[in-house]
């Protein structure tokens, strides 16, 4: 059965598949065995995810982070997503939301989407954003998340300190009730064809490609550190290593109210997505036999990487779909995060398949600031240096679509709005003695 997006990737991607296949011993035999096991595991795990719904996603309190039991930490790592309660206090989070609304009202020219009813804003340097990013609890939570990663060699790596968090300036959204949101279907950020194409990034998935998918560790650090996740220079492709992406809730938002959805098993989804381009189905996708691994065949003759498509001179995706990735059972397994309150934060591992709910059936705005977990590494430090210069000039950060400086807006933050010394350090601004 041919894939619906056939013919969209250049023929050289056949060569890439051949190159990968040739670089692992007994590739066809080993990945075929692995594919069968992964499909069977998915048939099991997806049932559990569907049954539990939002409760499948771990929830912890910020003050408990340092004392979590090993089982809880294991669950967070496996599921790849966590709600951390009360990272900042409710009043402060609500006040930030109010200030963001005031900023937008005071500066009607700010760029946002959709243009006729702006809800997602191209703003990086408002005071609430700069204050939130430098909040010591928030930076503490991101340092804790960074520390879930480790180097298999056990050795200290030059220039890397997981306990030192850095700031990555991103945007915010204030989503209105009733509006349908088609911008964020299920996808994985932080690299597209690069996962297969870029030799260092590919190393992160070495155990999957060698057929030992159960050994795959999404928290192994070394491959991630110098992986180039943006080979084509597309805008809005992150060039830093974010251990987890995240947002801070500025309002109450429950499932169905425009919140985040995730596929809550990061290692299993990685195994499936990474091997998917090497197999083709033998029955139509709407045939129930599609779920049986014996109706799939090893095939590297097509340049397609299902879920990846060309964009802006590079590629976008992976965007898994029910048609291309049936075993993920996305229509049922994309799980909404549990209800959040102002000051709660949600973090998801950089490989997690995530989306934003299409509908917002609540009656309040649903507001979040995007604030990921970024550890000190040489590559991240170099980015923060460039980002700092942009901040000082109120220009957009290097990874994002370029446009108007924020300098002429009323109420833009200055260095004085960075509220802590750990926040100044995270921005690459030297801390006064």
Kindly list the residues in this chain that would bind Fe ion in the complex (CB under 5 A).
189
Q: Which is nearer to Fe ion, 145 or 427 (CB)?
A: 145
| Rounded least distance, CB 366 to Fe ion, Å | 16
Identity of the residue, 184 or 214, whose beta carbon is nearer to Fe ion in the bound complex: 184
Smallest gap from Cβ 245 to Fe ion, in A, equals 7
* Closest CB to Fe ion among residues 34, 266: 266
Angle at 194 between CA 190 and CA 200, to 5 degrees: 100
- Residue 189 or 399: which CB sits closer to Fe ion? 189
CB-CB neighbours of 35 under 10 Å: 23
CA distance 238 to 190: 6
Residue whose C-beta lies closest to Fe ion: 189
For 14-160, strand residue ranges (E) read 59-61, 81-85, 112-113, 120-121
Nearest distance in Å: CB 234, Fe ion: 14
- What's the chain's length in residues? 433
**Minimum CB distance to Fe ion smaller for 211 or for 372:** 372
Q: Which bin fits 187, alpha (ψ -120 to 50), beta or left (φ > 0)?
A: beta
- Helix (H) or strand (E) segment spanning residue 369: strand 366-370
Give the shortest CB-284-to-Fe ion separation in angstroms. 30
Shorter beta-carbon distance to Fe ion: residue 211 or 318: 318
User: Of the two residues 190 and 338, which places its CB atom closer to Fe ion in the complex?
Assistant: 190
- State in angstroms the smallest separation of the CB of 354 from Fe ion: 6
Q: Retrieve residue 14's tokens.
A: 């056949």
Minimal distance in Å, beta carbon 10 to Fe ion?
Answer: 25
| CA–CA distance, 373 with 199 (Å, rounded to integer) | 24
Q: Could you give the CA distance from residue 225 to residue 397 in angstroms, rounded to a whole number?
A: 21
- CB 83 within 8 Å of CB 344: yes
Which uninterrupted H or E stretch holds 260? strand 260-262
Give the single-character DSSP code of 418.
-
* Dihedral-angle region of residue 314 (phi above 0 means left; psi in -120 to 50 means alpha; beta otherwise): beta
Q: Minimum CB separation from Fe ion for residue 142, in Å?
A: 17
CB of 189 to Fe ion, least distance (A): 4
Measured from the CB atom, the residue of 27 and 263 that comes closer to Fe ion is 263
What are the two backbone dihedrals, phi and then psi, of residue 163, each rounded to the nearest 5 degrees? -85, -5
Q: Which two tokens stand for residue 243?
A: 């251990």
């Amino acid at each position: 059965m041919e894939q619906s997006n056939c013919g969209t990737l250049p023929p050289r991607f056949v060569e890439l598949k051949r190159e990968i296949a040739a670089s692992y011993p007994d590739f066809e035999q080993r990945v075929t065995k692995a594919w069968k096991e992964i499909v069977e595991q998915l048939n099991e795990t997806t049932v559990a995810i569907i049954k539990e719904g939002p409760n499948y996603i771990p929830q912890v309190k910020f003050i408990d982070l340092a004392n979590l039991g090993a089982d809880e930490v294991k669950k967070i790592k496996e599921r790849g997503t966590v709600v951390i309660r009360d990272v900042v206090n409710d009043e402060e989070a609500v006040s930030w939301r109010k200030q963001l609304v005031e900023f937008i009202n005071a500066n009607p020219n700010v760029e946002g989407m959709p243009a006729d009813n702006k809800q997602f804003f191209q703003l990086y340097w408002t005071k609430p954003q700069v204050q939130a990013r430098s909040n010591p609890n928030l930076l503490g939570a991101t340092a804790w998340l960074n520390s879930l990663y480790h180097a298999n060699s056990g050795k200290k790596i030059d220039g890397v300190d997981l306990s030192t968090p850095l700031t990555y300036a991103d945007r915010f959204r204030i989503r209105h009730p009733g509006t349908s949101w088609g911008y964020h279907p299920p996808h994985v950020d932080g690299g597209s064809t690069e996962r297969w194409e870029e030799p260092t990034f590919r190393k992160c998935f070495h155990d999957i490609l060698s057929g030992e998918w159960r050994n795959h560790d999404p928290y192994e650090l070394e491959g991630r550190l110098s992986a180039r996740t943006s080979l084509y220079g597309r805008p809005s492709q992150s060039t830093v290593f974010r251990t987890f992406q995240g947002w801070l809730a500025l309002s109450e938002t429950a499932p169905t109210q425009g919140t985040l959805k995730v596929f809550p098993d990061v290692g299993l989804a990685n195994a499936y997505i990474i091997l998917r381009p090497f197999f083709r189905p033998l029955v139509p996708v709407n045939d129930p036999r599609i779920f049986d691994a014996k109706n799939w065949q090893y095939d590297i003759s097509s340049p397609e990487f299902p879920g990846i498509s060309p964009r802006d001179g590079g590629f976008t995706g992976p965007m898994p779909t029910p048609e291309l990735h049936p075993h993920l059972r996305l229509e049922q397994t994309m799980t909404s995060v549990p209800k959040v309150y102002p000051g709660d934060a949600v973090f998801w591992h950089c490989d997690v398949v995530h989306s934003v709910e299409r509908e917002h059936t609540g009656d309040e705005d649903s507001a979040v600031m995007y604030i990921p977990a970024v550890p000190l590494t040489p590559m991240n430090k170099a980015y923060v240096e460039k980002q700092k210069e942009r901040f000082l000039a109120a220009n957009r950060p290097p990874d994002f679509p370029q446009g108007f400086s924020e300098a002429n807006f009323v109420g833009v933050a200055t260095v004085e709005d960075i509220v802590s010394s750990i926040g100044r350090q995270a921005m690459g601004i030297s801390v006064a003695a």
